[in-house]
Amino acid sequence: MKVVVIGNSIAAHTFVTNLLKLADSVEIEIYGEEARLPYYRTRILSLLDSQADPDSLTIRPVISDPRVRQYNLHVDNIDPDAKLIYASDGKAHEYDVLVLANGARASRLPLPGGRSDGIFALRTVDDVHQLSLWLDRHSGPVAVIGGGLLGLEAASEISRYISREVTVLESADYLLPRQLDSESARYLQKRLSSMNIKVLCSAKTSNFLSSKGEVSAIKCDDGFTIPAQTVIESVGISPNTFLAVDAGLNVGRGVIVDEFMRTSSPDIYAIGDVAQIDGQVRGTAAVAMDSAKTLASVLSGQQKAYKAASQSSILKAAGLDVISIGNPFLKGTECTVIEDETRREAWFTAGGSLTAAVLIGSRANFSVAMSGLGRPFEEIRAKLK
């Protein structure tokens, strides 16, 4: 069986690694556009530190198996009927099974002035390198649009790198609206303000102002203007569906797959950020790895359907742990709060059982929360540190 994988990030690496363990008679070709080994995109901002080595982000162990060939080539299109892909080497390459793992790109706001110099969307090692060069030459105010997980991480790393205040603009009423309850978010905002990160909520960007082609400010819907010589857009991802669209596959926000990662075309599968699973594109490393492991099992003859892991998010912003486990937004839940000078913990229960936990400032009770979902809270409370 010849398996062709388009894409070379964590989903592709996890899939190939697991398939090699499960299947003997397999030949794998990987096509990736970046001329480097697969790396952890979630850690690219650490490269703002001039002493950081890009190789430190490489996903280990590196794949070195005679059954695998890797190509630094762009795939132009797919012919599902002939089972061929056409790559930038001008050749057609055959496959028995095709895996789309070509991920997503950072979304950009389609607003006036949005292509001015000094506006960045961070997705690759090169993106961070370009930002670093820009910050070395521009000492003006910095703003991050988007107060989600990646936005806060970007604000934290940039603030540490430039040693001055960074402003975060969040369009929602509070930070991390998908992960935190409003009271926990307000606590986080207060802590961040003491760490050189200023947060403006309910701030909806309307356009960018520029001077001589370089961004100079962000204008909000209410007319308020925030000076900014550097802007980071952290407003989500857009799955790379162009190959799937051209090939006639069913596409929504991402490439639509079933519980076995199958697309609408025989012998074509999709995993990771490009895949729309259960109607959603989550864009997390956990989903990328889980979908990759599912497909490896399927192709080795084990019909194991994809099962979403418990919802959880872990962030370290300005040295502060922010952890959300489970779903804190279920109706009818009660909340028990434990708070002191260094941490806030919100424990959500329904019918006496734990449904979610939000931990800010400490991960001492992380394992208790992870293992406690669905269990009586009184049992869990006795284990809390």
Domains assigned to the chain: 2-105+237-299 (3.50.50.60), 119-233 (3.50.50.60), 319-381 (3.30.390.30)
- Residue 298's identity, in one-letter code, is V
Looking at the predicted structure, is the pLDDT value of residue 272 above 90? yes
* Cα 139 from chain centroid (whole Å): 28
Which pLDDT score is estimated for 316? 79
Residue (of 117, 65, 84, 75) closest to 240 by Cα position: 75
pLDDT surpasses 70 at 338 = yes
Residue 310: which pLDDT band, with cuts at 50, 70 and 90?
low
Q: What is the mean pLDDT of residues 65-87?
A: 96
Which residues, listed in sequence order, are joined to residue 317 by a DSSP beta bridge? 320
Pairwise CA distance, residues 5 & 97, whole Å: 9
User: What is the distance between the alpha carbons of residues 321 and 326, in angstroms, rounded to a whole number?
Assistant: 17
Residue type, 338: I
**What is the distance between the alpha carbons of residues 184 and 166, in angstroms, rounded to a whole number?**
21
Give the DSSP H or E segment for 207.
Answer: strand 205-211
Query: What's the mean pLDDT in 3-10?
Result: 96
Q: What is the rounded CA–CA span in Å between residue 327 and residue 336?
A: 15
Taking residues 150-166, report their average pLDDT.
90
Distance of CA 198 to the CA centre of its chain: 23
Find the DSSP H helices in the chain. 10-22, 125-137, 149-162, 182-193, 242-246, 285-299, 366-372, 377-381
What integer pLDDT is reported at residue 121 of this predicted model?
96
**Quick one: tokens of 290?**
């889980």
Of 43-57, 65-79, 231-245, 353-367, give the lowest mean pLDDT range: 43-57
Residues 200-221, mean pLDDT to the nearest whole number: 95
How do residues 112-132 score in pLDDT, each as one tens digit? Answer: 999 999 999 999 999 999 999
User: Mean pLDDT score of the chain, rounded to an integer?
Assistant: 93
Quote the DSSP letter at residue 60: S
Q: How many CA atoms lie within 13 A of 194 on its CB side?
A: 9
Q: What is the pLDDT of residue 309?
A: 67
Cis ω on the peptide bond leading into residue 328 (within 30° of 0)? no
Torsion (CA) 138, 141, 147, 150 in degrees, nearest 10:
20
From the number of C-beta atoms within 10 Å of its C-beta (0-12, 13-18, 19+), residue 61 rates as exposed
Q: If pLDDT is split at 50, 70 and 90, which confidence band does 195 have?
A: confident
What pTM did the predictor assign?
0.90
